Amino acid sequence: MTTIQIRLIETPEEMRLVEQLQREVWPGSETDVVPLHMLITAVHNGGLVFGAFLDNTLAGFVFGFPGIETTPDGPRPKHCSHMMGIHPDQRDGGIGFALKRAQWQMVRHQGLDHITWTYDPLLSRNAYLNIAKLGAVCITYRRSEYGDMRDGLNAGLPSDRFQVDWWINTRRVESRLGKRSRPTLKLTHIMRSGLRPFYSLPASTDGLPHPPEHIPPFEDRLLLAEIPGDFMELKSKDFALARDWRFFTRELFETAFAKNYIVTDFIFDKNEGNPRGLYVLTHGESTLDEFE
């Protein structure tokens, strides 16, 4: 079995590999590539670029830099994790988790306790990594965060994003990244508990999941919110349906966050041919300690 090697990237030669990998992960828009000179400047000023190497070939990277966030007590430092990309031939092999774990270790060494990043909330695989496996939480929905994007993965849809909070010194995160990691929730566990999705997906004749016409009332403390298991495949088959999902989930999560719900977990049932993704929303005037 080939071993993944994770290491810091700091030289111009290896930064060029990161440039090229961006083109393979997000094809079609050269203007969206973070160039070598920006990457070098960032790492010379507290930023971090980690690379995942398989047989000396760059298979993935994660890039972030120090930032400032506004709090009721004034500005405080954080780490902004801007970009992570895995080569299309190497996905679902644990590379993303290994990169984020290395980032977690180094940012803690820098003396910071908070990492933020954005991702498309309709991408179940990303949600599974970010929320279920890494232990990030979310209370922030950003409409059209990056404006009109032109790369092959994002073109044509509003670039709505979750901004997640990764509180890297909490027991919640330690339980997922430590040596004895917490197992992720399975759909069978949830169903045995009696908890059901708080809306049903309408029956369809095309074999694709369709969003409900309306969002039901938010009444329970714990809610399951279902999204397409494979949004990119759905988008390739029915672009109008993908837009329907974007606007449905925009209303869903904006409403949930306004009502003090927090995204605390994600269930990804990878059933071949019919994958399902469900967010766990937890209500309350809560602190993170409640979800440790």
Record the pTM. Answer: 0.92
pLDDT band at 127 (very low <50, low <70, confident <90, very high): very high
- DSSP notation for 169-191: TSHHHHHHHSSSPPPPP-HHHHH
* Per-residue pLDDT reduced to its tens digit, 17-26: 999 999 999 9
Please give the pLDDT value at position 188.
83
Least confident of 89-93, 119-123, 139-143, 190-194: 190-194
Please give the pLDDT value at position 22.
96
pLDDT band at 152 (very low <50, low <70, confident <90, very high): low
- Torsion angle in degrees (nearest 10) through CA of 241, 247, 253, 255: -140
* Per-residue pLDDT reduced to its tens digit, 40-79: 999 999 999 999 999 889 999 999 999 999 999 999 999 9
Q: Are 122 and 227 in contact (CB under 8 A)?
A: yes
Segment 103-108 mean pLDDT? 98
Is pLDDT at 218 greater than 60 in this prediction?
Answer: yes
Please give the pLDDT value at position 45.
97
Residue 96 φ then ψ, to 5°: -60, -45
Please give the pLDDT value at position 205.
87
Which strand ranges, in their side-by-side order, compose the sheet holding 57-71?
Answer: 5-8, 48-54, 57-71, 74-86, 114-119, 161-167, 137-142, 261-269, 276-283, 222-228
Q: Are 285 and 258 in contact (CB under 8 A)?
A: no
pLDDT band at 189 (very low <50, low <70, confident <90, very high): confident
pLDDT band at 92 (very low <50, low <70, confident <90, very high): confident
pLDDT band at 125 (very low <50, low <70, confident <90, very high): very high
CA distance 87 to 55: 14
Is pLDDT at 30 greater than 90 in this prediction?
Answer: no
Higher pLDDT, 90 or 150: 90
